[in-house]
Amino acid sequence: MSAAQAVALKGVSISFATRDSRFDAVANVDLTVGDHEFVAIVGPTGCGKSTLLNATAGLLAPVAGSVEVFGKPLKGLNGQAGYLFQQESLMPWKTVLQNVAIGLEVAGTPAEKARQAAQTWLERVGLARFGDRYPRMLSGGQRKRVGLAQVLIRNPKLLLMDEPFGPLDAQTRLVMGDLLLKLWSEDRKAVMFVTHDLDEAIALADRIVIMSAGPKAGIIGEFSVPLPRPRAIAEIRHDPAFIRLHRDIWDALRDEVMKAYS
């Protein structure tokens, strides 16, 4: 395996037990993500996008195939990954600063040093003055920024993102996308980003992977994104290359979406 690959899924199949049988979520999936590459995964509802993220995180074990991370077989939890879920993971009884610092503290960083690092990260996500507030006092977009800082403070080599901006309104999603690109551009971590939003996928990613409808979902295509960086999401959507790529991806995806809803 090339050292330039952050993730390699090889022939991965994942099944879940049901009351009477087993449900085959994904089957024989091959997928690589290069180091420093931003890959978006799109597909119809229930096609196994999150399942692939969970396998890469070490939260699910494949029934067949293998997962390799930076050239080594994954055994147990993926300690090199940071995971930003769609659902919030902030602890409501802790302040914003404490929520961001806790990942370092749990790893053994002295409390004062962890809190200094947390304050730096709050500054980077535009929340320098909010450290003493509690999550209930923040807007949805602000809580997402705290969650992003909470993950990135540990400096993971791989970032797993499962519909992280899904619950947000359209304007806040644009702001969060631009913030993510700004932070990502500083060290270009490997990213696996699950989304249902084609505009979001094209605006953010280097490459887009398309999954088929389940059960036994697989990868049916991929597209490179030829748009230059840096990108401003609101403006890039008017680029003719963006519009053409959106049309081509939807042409490849349309039938699978219809299958999922039939």
Domains of the chain: 1-80+190-262 (3.40.50.300)
| Separation between Cα atoms, residue 125 and residue 183, nearest integer Å | 9
**Closest by CA position to 195, among listed 227, 220, 161:** 161
Mean of all residue pLDDT scores within the chain: 93
**Portion of the chain with pLDDT greater than 90, in percent:** 85
Would you say residue 76 has pLDDT above 80? yes
- Residue 71: its pLDDT value, please? 94
Q: pLDDT tens digits for 37-73? A: 999 999 998 888 999 999 999 999 999 999 999 999 9
Residues 6+ apart with CB under 8 A from 133: 95, 96
Instruction: Report the C-alpha gap between 46 and 42 in whole angstroms.
Output: 11
pTM of the model: 0.94
DSSP helix/strand/coil, 6: strand
Q: Return the SS3 of 35.
A: coil
The DSSP bridge partners found for residue 192 are: 39, 160
**Residue 130 in tokens:** 């909010």
Check pLDDT > 80 for residue 217: yes
Q: What values do phi and psi take at 253, rounded to 5?
A: -100, -25
Place of tokens 């036994």: 216
Between 18 and 190, the more confident residue is: 190
User: In 3D, which of 26, 181, 133, 151 has the Cα closest to residue 80?
Assistant: 151
CA 104 to chain centre: 21
